[in-house]
Amino acid sequence: MNMTSPIPPRSGGPVKPSRLRGDRVTLAHGGGGKAMRDLIDEVFTDVFQPPGSEDQARLTADALQNPGAQLAFTTDSFVVTPPVFPGGDICKIAVWGTGNDLAVGGAQPLWLSAAFIIEEGCEFALLRQIVASMQAEAVKAGVRIVTGDTKVVDRGAADKVFVTTSGVGVIPAGRHLKADLIQPGDVAIVNGVLGDHGATILAARGDMALTTDIQSDCQSLNALIERVLDAAPNTRAARDATRGGVASCLNEMAEAAGLSIQIDEASIPLRPEVKGVCEVLGLDPLYLANEGTLVMFVPEAEAQPALDAMRATDPGRDATIIGQAMAGHPGRVTMKTLFGGQRLVDTLVGEQLPRIC
Amino acid sequence: MRYVEEFRDPDAAKGVLRAIEQVVDQIGATKEKPVHIMEICGGHTHAIFRYGLDRLTPPGIEFIHGPGCPVCVLPMSRIDECVEIAERPEVIFTTFGDAMRVPGTRKSLMQAKADGADIRMVYSPLDALELARRNPDREVVVFGLGFETTTPSTALSIQQAAREGLSNFSVFCNHITVPPPIRALLDDPHMILDGFVGPGHVSMVIGTHPYDFIAEDYGKPIVVAGFEPLDLLQSVLMVLCQSRDGRAEVENQYARVVPDDGNPVSIAAIADVYEPRPTFEWRGLGEIDASGLRIRPAYHAFDAEEKFGVGYGAGPRLVTEPEGCACGQVMTGRIKPPQCPQYGTGCTPEMPLGALMGSSEGACAAYFQYSATEEMMEAAE
Amino acid sequence: MCLGIPGQIVAITDESRLMAMADVSGVRREVSVACVATPDLQDLIGDWALIHVGFAMSIIDADEAAKTLEALRGLGEAQETLEAMAQGDAALEGTS
Structural domain spans, chain A: 27-171, 179-344
Domain that holds residue B31: 5-69+186-252
Q: Looking at the predicted structure, is the pLDDT value of residue A292 above 80?
A: yes
Number of domains observed in the structure of chain B: 1
CB–CB of B158/B299 below 8 Å?
yes
Residue C29: its chain A contacts at CB < 8 A? 208-211, 280
Residue B360: its chain A contacts at CB < 8 A? 282, 353, 355, 357
Same domain, C13 and C50: yes
Q: Is residue B324 very low, low, confident or very high in pLDDT (cuts 50, 70, 90)?
A: confident
Residue B202: its chain C contacts at CB < 8 A? 2
Does residue B64 lie within any of the structural domains? yes
Tell me, what CATH number does B21's domain have? 3.40.50.11750
The predicted structure's pLDDT at residue B312: 67
Q: Any idea of the CA torsion for A178, A180, A186, A191, to the nearest 10 degrees?
A: 40
B7 shares contact with chain A (CB less than 8 Å)? no
The predicted structure's pLDDT at residue A30: 85
Q: Nearest CA to CA, how far is B341 from chain C (Å)? A: 28
For A339, which of B13, B98, B150 is closest by C-beta distance? B13
Q: Is residue B175 very low, low, confident or very high in pLDDT (cuts 50, 70, 90)?
A: very high
Give me the phi and psi of B103, to 5 degrees please.
-75, 140
Q: Nearest CA to CA, how far is A290 from chain B (Å)? A: 21
Does residue B278 lie within any of the structural domains? no
Distance CA B379, CA B227 (A): 28
Q: Is residue A3 very low, low, confident or very high in pLDDT (cuts 50, 70, 90)?
A: very low
Q: Looking at the predicted structure, is the pLDDT value of residue A2 above 70?
A: no
Does residue B226 lie within any of the structural domains? yes
Q: Which residue of C has its CA nearest to B125?
A: C53
Q: Is residue B357 very low, low, confident or very high in pLDDT (cuts 50, 70, 90)?
A: confident
Residue B9: its chain C contacts at CB < 8 A? 72
> How far is CA A291 from its chain centroid?
5
Residue B11: its chain C contacts at CB < 8 A? 76
For B255, which of C34, C61, C76 is closest by C-beta distance? C61
Q: For A105-130, write each residue's pLDDT tens digit.
A: 999 999 999 999 999 999 999 999 99
Distance CA A246, CA A230 (A): 25
The predicted structure's pLDDT at residue C73: 87
Q: Looking at the predicted structure, is the pLDDT value of residue B346 above 80?
A: yes
For C3, which of A210, A214, A355 is closest by C-beta distance? A355
Q: Looking at the predicted structure, is the pLDDT value of residue A5 above 50?
A: no
Long-range contacts at B306-313 (CB < 8 A, ≥ 24 apart): B307/B139, B307/B170, B308/B84, B308/B85, B308/B88, B308/B141, B310/B81, B310/B84, B310/B85, B310/B172, B311/B81, B311/B172, B312/B277, B312/B280, B312/B281
A353 shares contact with chain C (CB less than 8 Å)? no
Q: For B178-198, write each residue's pLDDT tens digit.
A: 999 999 999 988 889 999 999
Quote the mean pLDDT of chain C: 88
Quote the mean pLDDT of chain A: 89
Average confidence (pLDDT) over B273-299: 91
> How far is CA A221 from its chain centroid?
9
The predicted structure's pLDDT at residue A355: 59
Kindly tell me the burial class for residue A215, based on how many C-beta atoms sit within 10 Å of its own C-beta (0-12, 13-18, 19 or more).
middle
Q: What angle do CA B372, B374, B380 make, to 5 degrees?
A: 75
The predicted structure's pLDDT at residue B252: 98
Same domain, C90 and C54: no
Average confidence (pLDDT) over A248-277: 94
User: B185 Cβ partners below 8 Å, 6+ apart?
Assistant: B38, B66, B67, B191, B193, B285, B332, B333
CB B121 to CB A349 under 8 A? no
Average confidence (pLDDT) over A38-52: 90
The predicted structure's pLDDT at residue A185: 97
CB–CB of A146/A134 below 8 Å?
no
Select from A274, A280, A339, A353 the residue whose CB has the most chain C CBs within 10 Å, as the one to mutate to test that interface. A280
Q: Nearest CA to CA, how far is A129 from chain B (Å)? A: 30
User: DSSP string spanning B317-357?
Assistant: ---PPPTT--HHHHHTTSS-GGGSTTBTTTB-SSS-SSHHH
CB B255 to CB C78 under 8 A? no
Does residue B197 lie within any of the structural domains? yes
A276 shares contact with chain C (CB less than 8 Å)? yes
The predicted structure's pLDDT at residue B317: 56
Q: Looking at the predicted structure, is the pLDDT value of residue B355 above 60?
A: yes
Average confidence (pLDDT) over A170-190: 95
DSSP class of residue B210 equals G
Does residue B220 lie within any of the structural domains? yes
Q: Looking at the predicted structure, is the pLDDT value of residue B6 above 50?
A: yes
Q: Is residue A216 very low, low, confident or very high in pLDDT (cuts 50, 70, 90)?
A: confident
CB B4 to CB C75 under 8 A? no
Same domain, C93 and C76: yes
The predicted structure's pLDDT at residue C77: 72
Q: Looking at the predicted structure, is the pLDDT value of residue A15 above 60?
A: yes
Average confidence (pLDDT) over C87-94: 71
The predicted structure's pLDDT at residue B380: 47
Q: Which chains touch C (3 or more CB pairs under 8 A)?
A: A, B
Same domain, C29 and C72: no
CB pairs under 8 A between A and C: 44
CATH 3.90.650.10 for domain A179-344, yes or no, is yes
Number of domains observed in the structure of chain C: 2
Q: Looking at the predicted structure, is the pLDDT value of residue A1 above 60?
A: no
By C-alpha distance, which of B281, B373, B267 is closest to B73?
B281
3-class state of residue B170 by DSSP: strand
Q: Is residue C79 very low, low, confident or very high in pLDDT (cuts 50, 70, 90)?
A: low
Distance CA B53, CA B58 (A): 10
Same domain, C76 and C41: no
Task: Identify the top-confidence range among A202-211, A270-279, B65-74, B280-289.
Answer: A270-279
Average confidence (pLDDT) over A1-12: 44
User: DSSP string spanning A152-215?
Assistant: EE-TTSSSSEEEEEEEEEEEPTT----GGG--TT-EEEESS-S-HHHHHHHHHT-TT-EE----
Of 3.40.50.920, 3.40.50.10490, 3.30.1330.10, 2.60.40.1930, the CATH number of A27-171 is 3.30.1330.10
CB C25 to CB A273 under 8 A? yes
A residues 190..229 contacting B (CB < 8 A): 207-209
Tell me, what CATH number does C10's domain have? 2.30.30.140
Residue C50: its chain B contacts at CB < 8 A? 201, 204, 257
A residues 258..297 contacting B (CB < 8 A): 260, 262, 266, 272, 275-276, 279-282
CB A334 to CB B97 under 8 A? no
Domain that holds residue C42: 5-60
What percentage of chain B reaches a pLDDT higher than 90?
A: 62
Q: Nearest CA to CA, how far is C8 from chain B (Å)? A: 9
Q: Which chains touch A (3 or more CB pairs under 8 A)?
A: B, C
The predicted structure's pLDDT at residue A320: 97
Q: Looking at the predicted structure, is the pLDDT value of residue A249 above 90?
A: yes
Average confidence (pLDDT) over C28-43: 96
Q: Looking at the predicted structure, is the pLDDT value of residue A6 above 50?
A: no
The predicted structure's pLDDT at residue C1: 45
Q: Which residue of B has its CA nearest to A337?
A: B51
Q: Nearest CA to CA, how far is C92 from chain A (Å)? A: 33
Q: Looking at the predicted structure, is the pLDDT value of residue B374 above 90?
A: no
The predicted structure's pLDDT at residue B344: 85
> How far is CA B113 from its chain centroid?
24
Q: Is residue A354 very low, low, confident or very high in pLDDT (cuts 50, 70, 90)?
A: low
Average confidence (pLDDT) over A80-84: 90
CB C25 to CB A279 under 8 A? yes
Same domain, C54 and C80: no
Q: Is residue C75 very low, low, confident or very high in pLDDT (cuts 50, 70, 90)?
A: confident
Distance CA C28, CA C60 (A): 18
What ipTM was reported for this prediction?
Answer: 0.91
Instruction: Tell me if the pTM is above 0.80.
Output: yes
Inter-CA distances, B370 with A87, A119, A301, B48, B324, Å: 33, 41, 31, 10, 24
The predicted structure's pLDDT at residue A212: 87
Q: Is residue B301 very low, low, confident or very high in pLDDT (cuts 50, 70, 90)?
A: very high
Q: Looking at the predicted structure, is the pLDDT value of residue A218 above 70?
A: yes
The predicted structure's pLDDT at residue B209: 98
Strands A84-85 and A108-119: unpaired
DSSP class of residue A355 equals P
Q: Which residue of C has its CA nearest to B205?
A: C57
